[in-house]
Amino acid sequence: MDFELKTLAWNRLHQEKTDALVVLVDEHFTPSGDDALSRLAGGALRANDFEAKAGRLLPAYRAEGIAATRVLLVGAGDGSARSVRNAVGAAVGALKSPRVAHITLHLGGLRDLSAAVLSAAEQAVADASYVYTFTKPKAEASALKRVTIGVADAPALKGAHAVAQATVAGVAFAREWANRPANHSTPTLLANAATTLGKAPNCKVEVLGPKEVAKLGMGSFMAVAQGSEEPLRFIVLRYSGAAKAEAPVVLVGKGITFDTGGISIKPSAEMDEMKFDMCGAASVLGVFKALTTLKPALNVVGLIPACENMPDGRAVKPGDVVTSMSGQTIEILNTDAEGRLVLCDALSYAERFKPRAVIDIATLTGACVVALGAVRSGLFSADEALAQALQAAGESALDPCWRLPLDDDYAEGLKSNFADVANIAGRMAGAVTAAKFLQRFTAKYSWAHLDIAGTAWKSGAAKGATGRPVPLLFNYLLSLADQGVPAPAAKAGTPAAKKTAGKTTAKAGG
């Protein structure tokens, strides 16, 4: 889909030639002009045939004095990013027709058009018009090919538009790979997808196989993979947008391309949804798609341990003890608690990057779904500043998370008589005990964990990946790039200090 940002004055809207002119108006809006559109909107508002409440729609067809074939007045309520997202979603949904290929979406009727609101509008268009076709080629692709976004001052929003476009591309990439069935997104195919991202300038991708992973001593990761015919892959992505000396943020994504539970096998009902157990990995790929699109000034590393969790004659068994890359031994009491087993070795690998922060993203526990449902992802971090930054990034990207505790008392149940640690604790607080397990492998850096088991995909009739938490993560990364990083030892006036001064992201404004 092509998005274009364009300066459009309200009194010229009626001249716009487009299949559908979609005009958002918030509660502050009062039409004052004498053009055809002002008359239409004013008349409907006065007659109480239309209200600016979020999601209200008033369609018109071949309206007198209006060049667009269809007009859709859309209420945007208080004009917040959330209301705008819902309003645009409703509008694009209502315009699904093979005859609507070009929409002009006018946002000039909103009092406060912030970067967050613009991004919400663009994301909503993309979400509402996404159609999965990879293994359903006859599915009717969206007829919508072109979206013109009308604003009062396009140059002022150019930077925000670039950020929004990168986010849209990142979410789409994550969604697509997460949706592909497990036989079409094996560890090898996931690694190939990463490799295509590595073709972009500033991005390098390295893929390790079973031999290299064995050499690294990733006994915990290998234990999960050993029951599958599909060879494991350890994917390392590097985005270099800043000076080499700048410490990277490391993102670690759980890449279980299918989770049967292994010998601790899951019930059959809804087991198909365990193809989504690589949504953490997909979100890392999505963030790299966004990074290579926008090219902000920061360094990011992505790590993806990818494998299947299968029952087999060679599969790991309950009670088996394995040695992780960290040297800690792990008693695998439940082979279905496999996410933490692949993540812990990736977290140890992350140490070599001397990271500024490490964030792992995982569809880790059913307990997190029980705690927070599909609204907020679970956030765990002992680093106050990191937790707050991630929480804030989630709020403004409409991709929210909620912090859960990490008290050491929660780790009691992980004690083992046969190893340094067990991979499960009791029935209680399962999302927290999983996080406590991971925390044991993160002593060397600042760390946060996002449990996205409830937010990464939808079940039921709307079954499919959401692309979350790409918006949260990308927004967080851009907030770091905005701050820039002062060169550690350089005094004012030295060449190093000059080089760093005023360094911000590639985005202008926003």
The whole-angstrom separation of Cα 312 and Cα 262 is: 8
Give 154 or 265: the residue with its C-beta nearer to Mn ion: 265
* Using rule CB under 6 A, residue 333 touches ligand BES: no
Applying CB under 5 A, the span of 48-56, 75-83, 328-336, 412-420 interacting with Mn ion comes to 328-336
* Using rule CB under 5 A, residue 360 touches Mn ion: no
**Sign of the alpha-carbon torsion through 477, 324, 213, 278:** negative
Rounded to a whole number of angstroms, the CA Rg of the chain reads: 25
Residue 12 CB neighbour total at 10 angstroms: 12
User: Hey, is 232 helix, strand or coil?
Assistant: coil
Residue 245 CB neighbour total at 10 angstroms: 11
Binding mask 435-454 for ligand BES (x = CB under 6 A): ------------------x-
Token pair 């030295």 in the structure block, residue: 494
Applying CB under 6 A, the span of 147-155, 185-193, 359-367, 440-448 interacting with ligand BES comes to 359-367
- Name residue 151's beta-bridge partners: 7
Give 75 or 262: the residue with its C-beta nearer to Mn ion: 262
* Using rule CB under 6 A, residue 471 touches ligand BES: no
The whole-angstrom separation of Cα 243 and Cα 266 is: 47
Strands 203-208 and 233-240: antiparallel
Name the residue type at position 463: K
Binding mask 162-181 for ligand BES (x = CB under 6 A): --------------------
Distance in Å, CB of 309 to ligand BES, minimum: 7
Alpha carbons within 13 angstroms on the beta-carbon side of residue 284 total 34
* Cβ-Cβ contacts under 8 Å for 509 (sequence gap 6 or more): 115, 156, 157, 158, 159, 160
Which of 373, 393, 395 has its CA nearest to residue 81? Answer: 395
* Using rule CB under 6 A, residue 255 touches ligand BES: no
Give 23 or 452: the residue with its C-beta nearer to Zn ion: 452
Alpha carbons within 13 angstroms on the beta-carbon side of residue 222 total 17
Set 175, 254, 275, 340: catalytic member: 340
Which one of 7, 38, 114, 334 is in contact with ligand BES (CB under 6 A)? 334
* Using rule CB under 5 A, residue 339 touches Zn ion: yes
What are the angstrom distances between the C-alpha of 131 and each of 41, 253, 370?
Answer: 32, 25, 29
| Count of residues interacting with Zn ion (CB under 5 A) | 4
Can you give the length of the chain in residues?
A: 510
Name the residue type at position 498: K
Give 256 or 358: the residue with its C-beta nearer to Zn ion: 256
The whole-angstrom separation of Cα 492 and Cα 211 is: 49
* Using rule CB under 5 A, residue 308 touches Mn ion: no
* Using rule CB under 5 A, residue 277 touches Zn ion: yes
Which one of 19, 230, 308, 336 is in contact with Mn ion (CB under 5 A)? 336
Give 104 or 363: the residue with its C-beta nearer to ligand BES: 363
Positions 202 through 261 that interact with Mn ion (CB under 5 A): 259
* Using rule CB under 6 A, residue 367 touches ligand BES: yes
Structure tokens belonging to residue 344: 């812990």
Give 122 or 336: the residue with its C-beta nearer to Mn ion: 336
Binding mask 278-317 for ligand BES (x = CB under 6 A): ----------------------------------------
Is 238 designated active site? no
* Using rule CB under 5 A, residue 259 touches Zn ion: yes
The whole-angstrom separation of Cα 172 and Cα 124 is: 12
Is 70 designated active site? no
Distance in Å, CB of 332 to Zn ion, minimum: 13
Applying CB under 6 A, the span of 52-60, 107-115, 130-138, 358-366 interacting with ligand BES comes to 358-366
The whole-angstrom separation of Cα 85 and Cα 80 is: 8
Structure tokens belonging to residue 291: 């990074």
Residue at shortest CB range from Mn ion = 336
* Using rule CB under 6 A, residue 416 touches ligand BES: no
* Using rule CB under 5 A, residue 35 touches Mn ion: no
DSSP letter, residue 265 = P
240 binds, among Zn ion, ligand BES, Mn ion, none (CB under 5 to 8 A by kind): none
* Cβ-Cβ contacts under 8 Å for 204 (sequence gap 6 or more): 198, 237, 238, 240
Set 56, 266, 444, 458: catalytic member: 266
Structure tokens belonging to residue 145: 């090919």
At 443, give phi and psi (nearest 5°). Answer: -65, -25
Mind telling me the catalytic residues? 266, 340
Chain residues binding ligand BES by CB under 6 A are: 259, 277, 334, 336-339, 363-367, 369, 424, 430, 453
Chain residues binding Mn ion by CB under 5 A are: 259, 336, 338
